[in-house]
Structure 1
């Protein structure tokens, strides 16, 4: 739950830091602080993942985690791969359709795709693990 909430906030922050100045202006020198903010805003998600990863490792060593936890993680990884692949495909398709006449995509969109993909993937994995754990749907 903690990870899902944090990655949702990170994802929203990355979206806002690129979309507020606009993807075309995002790469200009006067918006360099926005690029820095969007790069830094992803850090809390990675710190929480590292902290929870350490807790999970200690939990496995102490026998607090069992094969069901591993099954939930595997199923969440499957959902994450599928959802992220579809999201990146659709984003690339929409960018192509939106900018093929111009012959170039504003670099801000590429920045958003790079950082957004990481945040989206992390959010989907955490949310999928939570839903799968609550519903008990670990069968692949």
Structure 2
């Protein structure tokens, strides 16, 4: 994600947490999408940035993946050809598809984002 998009994503995520943290129902994907879309429209208008339709769509999906899924890993997990994901570093993710391992273009924005995903994964299995 380019820097302006990453900045927008971080700002919108912060707004979502500040304004709606207690109201988010993670089982209601469309409800979360609606809140994110509303906040994104507000942010884009107030920040005076121009996003094309494709970038705007990527922004909304990235925020949904961050809030409801496993962030940048979500698209890899949803790919039925993915058999393994190996993370060596926030900016170095390998993926195995159909028996072939390759470096993925998917990266974490920071070590903190990677840590959040790790915490989310281990919390579902009851470990720390």
Provide TM-score, normalisation by structure 1: 0.26
State the structure with bigger RCO (CA 8 A, min sep 6), 1 or 2. Answer: 1
In terms of fraction of residues, the more strand-rich structure is 2
